[in-house]
């Protein structure tokens, strides 16, 4: 039997008080797109409707000759969205919620069953629910999710339903999952308050082209900027008396000096698009959704921009000099970071952050971050500046979930988004995985910090760490910062503040593209990406000559492969999104 919730009590109490007082009042009417600040405000509006309407007083006549000014329309204030305490347990009947969760295989190999992961087991204990969990493979999630859906029998909760081949809008239209928008906006004050806590309109970002919110999200506590830094060995910089470079020309001289002194090389992205080097040209890696740019309202594909030509000429020359790692196409990013932090192959690399510096420090190597290079001193960087709030489409609810279980799931998720649930989501159980320090902040215990398999693995088992996209909630990406020194904090600040983000394709704008157009664009992009990647790598390696003629032939070939159609699709999504 379910417990009476705080929301229900607040509704009843406010209604009773209003009726006893015998006073009316005009409650602000709010639709699903502009929900009430809390359950209490909704109760006051209901109470007001129950009081008979009073006759308005007659207006005083205007003085002769006076000009009647039109009354100003009152500006409706934004409601205050506040979190509420959730009464636990949610149920004392032990109802079962079935779930399909994508879990890292190295984690499932370390526990007998997913419920043994602290966050899941503790949620069962606190809420009174029982979880019947079927694990899928996080690494091959797209295949596993589509196999599940093809089977036709769905659990109550499907993790990452956005991996469905037809798209998440189609999953709603084909009655695989349900639209959760009304539940989120009207029944879940903690989740709603969490969504409203950011400067960005997160509700707009996660609403699909059809107007659905088809999942409960996992959010970042602080907006995550998808940017990295170029880092080099600090000891080698000092031994060779090298100054911090500002421009590409100065960076070249630093990298050449390091290579000549050590024989080591610069780590490089295997696709040929090194993000930290592209930023100064105000470009992103070509070939994916995030790679589109918007300049003065016009969507652009970076792979054919003039700046890309300059970039490719530069890295081609650097590769020919031996500055760039000779076998970079065989190196995944994690392999680059491993080589960099071990200090035996690479003297530097892009795609690094404070965590990379921390790992290197554990190996006795000190790294330093370099400012983003620019073509000219003082040039502004306008890409990779957006803060991402929604980390993933964590839980969708299937159409085979009963109304009773849907109600329980909404209460469960709202608890996870409460302050208490957020602490559990990130740090696990007090006295086990974390304790409070003198400042009243949570910090890891030795159970996590001294775990032989590393802190990330320990946090996955005893709390929720990266990768952990199998639960909705608020992810605190700074929970591993406890060991950071000043240099590590400085690189985090540099990553956050390096760019204005003016040219970034807005987060959520691709949600305004229909599933059909997205699939059509994806098919065309797949062929285009193969051509772009093959051509770019052949130029960098010097296998094919790069000059004005071959560049123009390449640009023409891109447009012949439906590039303009792809741009038009993303332009339409952008225009619709910005007009809302």
| pLDDT band of 248, cuts 50, 70, 90 | very high
Residue 522: enclosing H or E segment and its boundaries? helix 515-540
Q: What is the pLDDT of residue 70?
A: 59
Cα 540 to Cα 308: distance, rounded to the nearest angstrom: 12
Mean pLDDT of 133-154: 96
Give the C-alpha separation, 510 to 275, whole Å.
Answer: 22
What is the spatial distance between Cα 408 and Cα 418, in angstroms, rounded to a whole number? 15
Give dist(CA 423, CA 73) in Å, integer: 43
Query: Rounded CA gap, 445 and 463, in Å?
Result: 12
pLDDT band of residue 362 (cuts 50, 70, 90) is: confident
How far apart (Å, rounded) are the C-alpha atoms in residues 340 and 365? 9
Instruction: List the single range of 42-46, 137-141, 319-323, 489-493 with lowest mean pLDDT.
Output: 42-46
Give the span between the Cα atoms of 450 and 482, in whole angstroms: 13
pLDDT for position 402: 98
DSSP secondary structure letters along 156-210: SEEETGGGSTT-HHHHHHTTSB---HHHHHHH-HHHHHHHTTSSS-HHHHH--TT
Q: Which helix (H) or strand (E) holds 443?
A: strand 442-444
How many CB atoms lie under 10 A from the CB of residue 267?
27
Q: Give yes or no for residue 333 having a pLDDT over 90.
A: no
Taking CB atoms within 8 Å and a gap of at least 24, the contacts of 480-488 are: 480/355, 480/455, 480/456, 481/354, 482/443, 482/444, 482/449, 483/358, 484/354, 484/358, 485/361, 487/357, 487/366, 487/368, 487/369, 488/354, 488/357, 488/358
> Reduced to 3 states, what is the DSSP secondary structure of residue 382?
coil
CA distances (Å), 96 to each of 129, 155, 399, 547, in order? 6, 11, 16, 65
Q: How many residues does the chain have?
A: 580
pLDDT at 201: 96
What is the model's pLDDT at position 466? 82
Query: pLDDT tens, 83-128?
Result: 999 999 999 988 999 999 999 998 989 999 999 999 999 999 999 9
Q: For residues 9 and 6, what is the distance between their CA atoms, to the nearest angstrom?
A: 5
- Rounded Cα distance, 436 and 542, in Å: 57
- CA of residue 89 relative to chain centroid, distance: 31
Place of tokens 């970042």: 220
> Which residues are CB-contacts of 134 (< 8 A; sequence separation ≥ 6)?
98, 99, 100, 101, 155
Instruction: Compute the Cα dihedral for 461, 466, 470, 475 and give only its sign.
Output: positive
If residue 220 lies in a helix (H) or strand (E), which one and from where to where? strand 216-225
- pLDDT tens profile 473-522: 999 988 988 889 999 999 999 999 999 999 999 999 999 999 889 889 98
As a whole number of angstroms, the distance between CA 103 and CA 141 comes to 9
Query: Per the confidence metrics, is the pTM higher than 0.85?
Result: no
Cα separation of 114 and 470, whole Å?
11
| List of residues 6+ apart from 371 with CB closer than 8 A | 244, 245, 246, 494, 498
Over the stretch 429-456, which tens digit does the pLDDT of each residue have?
999 999 999 999 999 999 999 998 888 8
Residue 265's pLDDT is what?
95
> Which residue in the block uniquely carries the two structure tokens 């980390």?
391
- Set out the domains of the chain in order of their start, with CATH numbers: 96-216+388-440 (3.40.190.10), 229-383+488-579 (3.40.190.10)
Query: What mean pLDDT, rounded, does the chain reach?
Result: 87
Q: Give the separation between CA 467 and CA 52, rounded to whole angstroms.
A: 57
Structure tokens at 469: 């996209």
Structural tokens at position 193: 């308050």
| Calpha distance 318→83 (Å, rounded) | 54
DSSP secondary structure of 227-268:
--EEEEEHHHHHHTTPPPP-BHHHHHHHHHHHHHHH--EEE-
Please give the pLDDT value at position 290: 56
Between the alpha carbon of residue 11 and those of residues 44, 81, 82, the distances in Å are 8, 16, 15
Q: What are phi and psi of 283, to 5 degrees?
A: -130, 160
Q: Which residue has the higher pLDDT, 141 or 362?
A: 141
3-state DSSP assignment of residue 265: strand
CA angle, corner 311, sides to 305 and 315, nearest 5?
A: 150
- Enter the tokens of residue 328: 């970079």
Which residue(s) pair with 139 in the sheet? Answer: none
What pLDDT does 76 receive?
74
- Residue with more model confidence, 56 or 489: 489
- Average pLDDT for 360-386: 93
pLDDT digits (tens, 9 = 90+) for 15-51: 333 433 433 333 333 333 434 333 333 333 333 333 3
Largest CA distance in the chain: 94
Burial of 133 (0-12, 13-18, 19+ CB in 10 A): buried
Please report the pLDDT score of residue 336 as a whole number.
Answer: 82
Percent of the chain with pLDDT over 70: 86
CA distance 514 to 378: 40
Residue 370, strand partner residues: 230
pLDDT at residue number 145: 98
pLDDT at 196 over 90: yes
Name the residue with higher pLDDT: 228 or 408: 408
Ramachandran area for residue 457 (φ above 0: left; ψ -120 to 50: alpha; else beta): alpha
In this model, does residue 184 exceed pLDDT 50? Answer: yes
Which residue, 519, 212, 522, is CA-closest to 396?
Answer: 212
């Amino acid at each position: 039997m379910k417990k009476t919730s705080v929301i229900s009590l607040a509704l009843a109490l406010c209604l009773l008080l209003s009726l006893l007082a015998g006073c009316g009042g005009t409650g602000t009417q709010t639709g699903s797109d502009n929900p009430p600040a809390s359950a209490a405000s909704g109760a006051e509006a209901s109470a007001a409707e129950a009081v008979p309407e009073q006759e308005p007083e007659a207006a005083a006549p205007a003085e002769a000759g006076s000009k009647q000014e039109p009354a100003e329309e009152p500006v409706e204030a934004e409601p205050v969205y506040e979190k509420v305490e959730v009464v636990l347990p949610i149920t004392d009947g032990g109802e079962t919620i079935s779930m399909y969760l994508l879990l890292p295989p190295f984690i499932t190999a370390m526990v007998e069953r997913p419920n043994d992961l602290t966050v899941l087991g503790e949620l069962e204990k606190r809420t009174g629910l029982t979880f019947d969990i079927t694990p899928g493979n996080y690494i091959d999630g797209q295949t596993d999710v589509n196999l599940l859906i093809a089977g036709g029998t769905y659990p109550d909760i499907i993790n990452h339903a956005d991996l469905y081949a037809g798209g998440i809008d189609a999953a709603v239209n084909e009655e695989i999952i349900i639209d959760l928008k009304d539940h989120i906006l009207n029944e879940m004050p903690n989740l709603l308050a969490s969504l409203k806590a950011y400067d960005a309109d997160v509700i707009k970002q996660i609403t699909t082209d059809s107007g659905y919110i088809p999942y409960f999200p996992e959010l970042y506590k602080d907006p995550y900027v998808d940017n990295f830094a170029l880092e080099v060995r600090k000891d080698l910089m000092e031994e060779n008396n090298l100054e911090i470079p500002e421009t590409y020309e100065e960076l070249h001289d630093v990298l050449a000096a390091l290579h000549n002194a050590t024989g080591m090389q610069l780590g490089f992205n295997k696709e040929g698009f090194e993000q930290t080097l592209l930023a100064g040209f105000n470009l992103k890696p070509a070939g994916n959704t995030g790679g589109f740019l918007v300049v003065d309202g016009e969507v652009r594909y970076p792979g054919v921009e003039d700046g890309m030509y300059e970039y490719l000429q530069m890295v081609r020359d650097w590769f020919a000099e031996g500055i760039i790692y000779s076998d970079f196409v065989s190196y995944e990013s994690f392999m680059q970071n491993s080589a960099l932090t071990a200090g035996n192959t690479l003297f530097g690399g892009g795609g690094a952050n404070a965590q990379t510096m921390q790992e290197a420090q554990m190996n006795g190597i000190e790294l330093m971050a370099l400012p983003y290079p620019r073509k000219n001193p003082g040039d502004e960087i306008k890409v990779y500046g957006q803060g991402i709030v929604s980390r993933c489409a964590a839980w969708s609810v299937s159409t085979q979930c009963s109304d009773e279980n849907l109600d329980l799931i909404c209460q469960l998720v709202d608890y996870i988004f409460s302050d208490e649930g957020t602490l559990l989501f990130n740090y696990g159980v007090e006295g086990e995985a974390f304790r409070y320090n003198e400042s009243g902040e949570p910090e890891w215990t030795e159970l996590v910090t001294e775990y032989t398999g590393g802190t990330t693995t320990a946090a996955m088992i005893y709390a929720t760490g990266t990768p952990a996209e199998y639960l909705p909630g608020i992810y605190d990406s700074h929970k591993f910062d406890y060991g950071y020194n000043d240099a590590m904090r400085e690189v985090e600040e540099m990553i956050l503040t390096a760019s204005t983000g003016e040219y970034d394709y807005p987060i959520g704008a691709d949600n305004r593209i229909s599933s059909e157009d997205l699939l059509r664009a994806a098919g065309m992009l797949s062929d285009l990406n193969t051509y772009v990647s093959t051509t770019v790598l052949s130029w960098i390696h010097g296998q094919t000559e790069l000059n004005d003629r071959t560049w123009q032939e390449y640009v023409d070939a891109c447009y012949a492969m439906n590039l303009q159609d792809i741009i038009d699709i993303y332009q339409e999504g952008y225009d619709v999104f910005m007009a809302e």
